[in-house]
Chain A
Amino acid sequence: MSRTLFVRCVLIVAGGLALVVAPSNVHAQLLKLTGYADLEWTAQETNDPEDEWHNFFDNHHFNLIGIAWVTDDLSGAVEVEYEHAGEEIALEYGYISYTGIPYLRLVGGKFIIPFNRWNKDLHPTFISKMPGRPPVYANVFPSTYSDVGIWASGGAPVGQNGNRVTYDLYVVNGLKGDPDASSFRGLRGNDRERPDRDDNKAVGGRLGFELANASFGVSGYTGDYAKTEDTGVGLGISFVGVDADYHWQGLELRGEFVSASQDLTSGENNDRSGYYLQAAYLTEVDFEPVIRFTAVDFEGREDDAEELGIGFNYYLSASGTVRVAYLFGLEDSEFETDNDKLMTQFVVVF
């Protein structure tokens, strides 16, 4: 055994002993394991004349969430996602949090970017009212986007009615990718966590207002995602977003808008914008019809996309839901024929 290895072993054993004998309230600590899983069956129109409807099963998510309560001020959480029956395994988020300062939660690690609501709060299939990602969150904002950095968050009351203002501010490594690549979501490439990436950090935040039956917020994100090969000048990418929702009894109305501007090596900008509007009504028999309209505008291009989704949810329990939706591709962006989809989903949160 080499001297270095011996020293490391001694340090590890000493560290373990220190954790065991150190005075601490071990009974106060807790690790809660939870998560969610879903099974999808999708029938999708294709441009293959011999296979106009392609259908398949997908175990889209089996995500395990661990929540650690350490002390009154320290906690952590991790979500390990097994997507597509384990074909994709990744860390959705893994953070440590300090809450010892009133009105401020400090988070460090990998976290989901709090841009608008869908990216961080609404994308899990046990929460999202309709199967499938709204196209605005595939083609305008690369959801689900999580990154490594520091995040400050909190809320403060306004008045006596339970209204409050909320804020999120963060610094992260930022999106990174090839300016000429066609895959916009590829900017979330895993190498953004590598320590040897560029020095430019991305910054962003969200300012929100929570009322009794409604909430709204504005979000921003800006940072460099690449450099030009010849001059080394940074190429920026920025997002501005607005979100709002309204609740009354079983009715939920929700909408989000995103605008993106991406510098290209040619000196031009790849600008795009989009939004979705969604209405859902939960009846007393746990049946919930949902309608969602999404539009994406690629400035200067002719392949703008619109999608109309009509579906319903049935809640077997507070933890199990069946979702069915038909998504009409109103304009062709990828296929020569219509790209309609019929999606069914069985989701369980545990």
Chain B
Amino acid sequence: MTSQAKKTVVLIGLIGLAVLLMVRPALAQESGAEIWGRTCNKCHRAQPVNKYQADEWRAIMRHMALNARLTPAEEEAVTEFLMSVARPVVDASADRSETVALSASGRLPDLVSTDPDMASYVIRYDSLIGMESYKRQCVVCHGAEGEGDGPAAAALKPRPTDLTESELVSEMPDAELLEFLSNGKGAMPGFAKILSKQELSAIVGVLRDLNAVE
């Protein structure tokens, strides 16, 4: 192929691009978690979402959105998701006496809620809200059936928990599950900043259903 022909190919490509961009399609309705699951893992294994703090994710996402050529809506959704589940900023001056006391009693220290209202919150299962919230935030890792085989699961290390066989889920009281979902633990991020208490407690109900499946 001559240089002239190749220049022609490039020109045709540019014209095609202009035509495509003139047709403004509908915006994607996916959640940030779903977009994160299907885009970030295409090139590399996604880093744990709570590896960085919110501001760090904001900077990183600006760079990565360029690399991945995300749409504006996709970039905004993924950035919002990552910032909401990011590693919290540790306040070294905070009083940790309550956490230490609970740790000494043998309870999981990372599950201690930082929200004083959370402990007294009444769990209300709502299957509609629960399934919708689970679909938008959890399916990407844990899968539609909760078996730890969501679209992003293969690229994650550690692999997402199989919720259907998780003793942690079956043995943990509702209030602790709610705190787990809110604050996270290990590679599992907390969702308190992106989901309401109503949505979180509804997901607890979904986890009970998934865990009860034989």
Main secondary structure of the interface of B (DSSP, over half): helix
Once the chains bind, are B30 and A162 in contact (CB under 8 Å)? yes
Are A67 and B59 neighbours in the complex by a CB distance under 8 Å? yes
Among B38, B52, B66: residue with most chain A CB under 10 A:
B66
CB distance from A207 to the nearest CB of B (A): 5
Size bracket of the B interface: 35 or more
How many Å lie between the Cα of A159 and that of B24 in the bound state? 10
CB distance from A174 to the nearest CB of B (A): 13
> When the two chains form the complex, which single residue of A127, A153, A155, A165 contacts B43, counting CB atoms closer than 8 Å?
A127
A208 touches B58 (CB 8 A): no
Instruction: Check if B71 sits within 8 Å of A164, measured CB to CB.
Output: yes
Asked whether, in the complex, the Cβ of A220 is within 8 Å of the Cβ of B59, the reply is no
B58 touches A126 (CB 8 A): no
**Which A residue sits closest to B55, measured CB to CB?**
A30
Cβ proximity bits B29-68 to A, threshold 8 Å, 1 near / 0 not:
1100011001101111111100110011011101101111
Does B26 sit at the interface, judged by CB under 8 A?
A: yes
In the assembled complex, which residues on chain A have CB atoms less than 8 Å from the CB atom of B104? Answer: none
Contact between A159 and B10 (Cβ–Cβ < 8 Å)?
Answer: no
Within 8 A of A (CB), among B51-108: 51-52, 55-56, 58-60, 62-63, 65-74
Judge if A250 is at the interface, Cβ distance under 8 Å.
yes
A121 CB–B CB distance under 8 Å:
yes
Given contacts A247-B42, A261-B6, contact A315 B157 (CB under 8 A): yes
Query: Main SS of the interface on chain A?
Result: strand
In the complex, which residues of chain B have a beta carbon less than 8 angstroms from the beta carbon of A168? 69
Q: Are B21 and A103 in contact (CB under 8 A)?
A: yes
The yes or no answer to B194 lying at the interface (CB within 8 A) is no
With a CB–CB cut-off of 8 A, which chain B residues contact A30? 55-56, 58-59
Closest to A284 in B: B159
A69 at the interface (CB under 8 A from B): yes
Determine if B2 is an interface residue (Cβ-Cβ < 8 Å).
yes
Question: What are the residues of chain A within 8 A of B47 when measuring CB–CB?
Answer: 318-319, 349
Report yes or no: A165 in contact with B55, Cβ–Cβ below 8 A. no
Kindly report which residue of chain A lies nearest to residue B75, judged by CB atoms: A99
Chain A, Cβ-Cβ closest to B68: A155
Q: In the complex, what distance in Å separates the CA atom of A321 from the CA atom of B70?
A: 27
B10 cross-chain contacts in A, Cβ below 8 A: 203-205, 220-222
- Among B25, B35, B155, B159, which residue has its beta carbon within 8 angstroms of that of A156? B25
The smallest C-beta distance from B47 to any residue of chain A, in angstroms, reads 5
- From A67, A156, A208, A263, B71 is in contact (CB under 8 Å) with A156
Judge whether A337 is part of the interface by a CB distance below 8 angstroms. Answer: no
In the assembled complex, the Cα of A264 lies from the Cα of B64 at a distance in Å of 39
The segment from B11-19, B111-119, B129-137, B178-186 that touches chain A is B11-19
Question: For chain A residues 201-241, which have a beta carbon within 8 Å of chain B?
Answer: 203-205, 207-208, 210, 212, 215, 218, 220-222, 236, 238-240
Q: Which 5 A-B pairs have the closest CB atoms?
A: A166-B69, A69-B59, A220-B10, A250-B154, A155-B69
Q: A67-B63, A162-B38 are in contact. List 8 more A-B contacts (CB 8 A).
A: A34-B60, A156-B71, A160-B28, A162-B28, A162-B35, A205-B10, A208-B69, A238-B6
What are 21 contact pairs spanning A and B, CB under 8 A?
A30-B56, A67-B59, A67-B63, A69-B58, A69-B62, A105-B66, A127-B44, A153-B66, A153-B69, A156-B25, A164-B71, A166-B69, A220-B10, A220-B13, A222-B3, A238-B3, A240-B6, A240-B9, A261-B3, A284-B159, A318-B157
